[in-house]
Structure 1
Amino acid sequence: MMVSFSEMLTAARRQHYAVGSFNVYNYETIRGVVESGRETGTPVIVAFGAGYLPNMEVAEVAGLVRTMGAASPTPVALHLDHCKSFEVIETAVKCGFSSVMYDGSALPFEENMKNTARVVALAHAAGVGVEAELGALARGEHSNEEDASEIYTSPAEARIFVAETKVDALAVSIGTVHGMYKGEPKVDVGVLKTIAAAVDIPLVLHGGSGTPEPIIRACIAEGIAKINVNTEISVNAVEKIRALLATGRSWHLSEISREEVGFVKEVVKKYIALFRPV
């Protein structure tokens, strides 16, 4: 069943668990995420990043997820991830996305706040949730995100930003990275705790791939209600497909596609188990 993004995350923060937001790029990854939710009885967010528009059109993603989500007895939300384009956001809202993320994290604070408020007005008029981001994540290995210098989220700015924009969820920067970590993760849960005390909306952790379990659980305990996982899905599927092809067997593309769904589910189910309450 398709559900409200905002209600899904509000329940997660209140009950101290996190909903997994899993990036998709094609039919197989969408199917892998939705089936993982159904098979574990767990809410999932299907996240389509604006950077993957060369792979699929927004309307195509919406159509597939609505069809699969309607057939699933467990909650499914459809999220537009990391988007800087007002035009693409408007298209996603019209196509029935549950939520959109306006990513103005690289902009000056005032400009990010102004643009986010504009997106909130557009999306809320259609009953669509909005996520925004303050601060910036560093770039890890195997990431297709733009290179960036890490900037931690300011709790004081977060309080002002949330009050002025009326966003439904806020992505924070506390030391995680886009992609896989190049070294020892240095995540500042103390900063997160201060941010959580400053705002009353669900908080989002980007860069879930490879983050150690104790850090994940500590972040959930301090207000993280949505955790993004992208790179590990891709890395696992690519490595497993490479191994299949190396067997020397003559594979049909349809068989590889079915195997890919399973490889996606391996990672998604791993994180679903981690994000649940202990």
Structure 2
Amino acid sequence: MPLAATGELIGAAAGTRGAVAAFNIITLEHVEAVIAGAESVDAPVVLQISENAVRFRYGRLLPLARAAAAAAERATVPVALHLDHVQSDDLLRQAPGAGFSSVMYDAARLPYEENLAATRAAADWAHGQGLWIEAELGQIGGKDGAPPLDAHAPGARTDPAQARAFVADAGVDGLAVAIGSAHAMTTRTATLDHGLLKRLAAALDVPLVLHGSSGVPDPQLRAAVAGGISKVNIGTALNIAMTGAVREFLASRPEAVDSRTYLGVGREAMARTVARLIRVLRGD
């Protein structure tokens, strides 16, 4: 089917107090696994390509983006493309021509006023191109010369009043909030601040996004969706599944040299992880 629009998928999920799963992809195996997993549970899904993934692919966006779009168009469930954690304005401007319907513009590393100005400019441009835009806001440092605190640093939290002002002034369509998760966690030990999430949901009239969801236990993921999260970003969990499966395969078959054998095992492991996590988010 044709590429879906991220904003429409998120809006539909938010309307039913649900959440769309958004998986970060690095290889074609990731693409195929995410789509296969989503198809197996009959759920829409978002494929995300981060600026870091583009850097890994020699700085070229189109090869992976076009492969993802081609696979998405042959899927039996709605699939959207999202450009994730974009800091480069040059990369941002490649999004419309590469099949993306949404971007996450990441200026959260900057002091508040600079973050706001950069995000507002990105939002104005994105909306002119028909893109849905997400931003991120955590606990902002910068006082007394201290650097801003990354939204996923230990202890970082998004202030509801500040978030409300930021969304209104920046004009973004969705906001990633810092409520206790962290990027690249390999253990599922994060503890979310569900009281803060409730206050954020009450203060904001745009969909809320949870980053770093691989480190969040299943019960807390379900509670986050029930509490107002409408988009759940997942990346590391796929890499854990793929690497573990490939490592086990090669350890038991040291003579193996055909990359299709172990990449196939890794792809299957990722697809199972995708299906399982979508079921968790749906409350199955």
On whether the aligned pair clears a TM of 0.5, the verdict is yes
Distance 1:146 1:105, change over 3 A: closer
Deviations 1:98-152 (A, max 9, x none): 2111111111111111111111111111211111000169xxxxxxx99945420
Q: Which residue of 1 aligns with 2:117?
A: 114
Residues matched between the structures, number: 271
The structural deviation recorded for 1:182 is: 5.9
Q: Which residue of 1 aligns with 2:43?
A: 42
- Percent pairwise identity: 35
Q: Which residue of 2 aligns with 1:209?
A: 214
Root-mean-square deviation (CA, aligned residues, Å) is 2.1
The structural deviation recorded for 1:274 is: 0.6
3-state SS, counterpart of residue 214 of structure 2: coil
Query: What 5-or-longer segments of structure 1 have no aligned partner?
Result: 138-144
| Aligned-partner residue type, residue 131 of structure 2 | V
Q: Which residue of 2 aligns with 1:104?
A: 107
Deviations 1:142-196 (A, max 9, x none): xxx9994542001011111111122111000001111226684331111111111
Please say if residues 184 and 212 of structure 2, whose CA atoms lie closer than 8 Å, have aligned partners that are also in contact: yes
Distance 1:146 1:28, change over 3 A: farther
Q: Which residue of 2 aligns with 1:32?
A: 33
3-state SS, counterpart of residue 215 of structure 2: coil
3-state SS, counterpart of residue 82 of structure 2: strand
Q: Which residue of 1 aligns with 2:227?
A: 222
2:205 is equivalent to residue 200 of structure 1 = yes
The one of 236, 252, 256 aligned to 2:241: 236
Partner Cα separation in structure 1 for residue 107 and residue 260 of structure 2: 40
Deviations 1:67-111 (A, max 9, x none): 111111211111111111111111123322121111111111111
3-state SS, counterpart of residue 77 of structure 1: strand
Distance 1:210 1:191, change over 3 A: same
Partner Cα separation in structure 1 for residue 86 and residue 241 of structure 2: 25
Distance 1:197 1:227, change over 3 A: same
The structural deviation recorded for 1:6 is: 1.0
Q: Which has the larger displacement, 89-98 or 78-87?
A: 89-98
3-state SS, counterpart of residue 223 of structure 2: helix
The one of 76, 90, 96 aligned to 2:79: 76
Q: Which residue of 2 aligns with 1:176?
A: 181
Query: What 5-or-longer segments of structure 2 have no aligned partner?
Result: 141-149
Partner Cα separation in structure 1 for residue 38 and residue 171 of structure 2: 29
3-state SS, counterpart of residue 177 of structure 1: coil
Distance 1:182 1:276, change over 3 A: closer
Partner Cα separation in structure 1 for residue 202 and residue 229 of structure 2: 12
Partner Cα separation in structure 2 for residue 123 and residue 236 of structure 1: 34
3-state SS, counterpart of residue 46 of structure 2: strand
Please say if residues 187 and 215 of structure 2, whose CA atoms lie closer than 8 Å, have aligned partners that are also in contact: no
Partner Cα separation in structure 2 for residue 262 and residue 271 of structure 1: 14
3-state SS, counterpart of residue 209 of structure 2: strand
Partner Cα separation in structure 1 for residue 42 and residue 211 of structure 2: 23
| Aligned-partner residue type, residue 4 of structure 1 | A
Distance 1:277 1:63, change over 3 A: same
2:267 is equivalent to residue 264 of structure 1 = no
Distance 1:69 1:187, change over 3 A: same
| Aligned-partner residue type, residue 21 of structure 2 | G
Q: Which residue of 2 aligns with 1:141?
A: none
Please say if residues 136 and 149 of structure 1, whose CA atoms lie closer than 8 Å, have aligned partners that are also in contact: no
3-state SS, counterpart of residue 91 of structure 1: coil
| Aligned-partner residue type, residue 241 of structure 2 | N
Partner Cα separation in structure 2 for residue 102 and residue 132 of structure 1: 5
3-state SS, counterpart of residue 80 of structure 1: strand
| TM-score between the two structures when normalised by the length of structure 1 | 0.91
Partner Cα separation in structure 1 for residue 176 and residue 14 of structure 2: 14
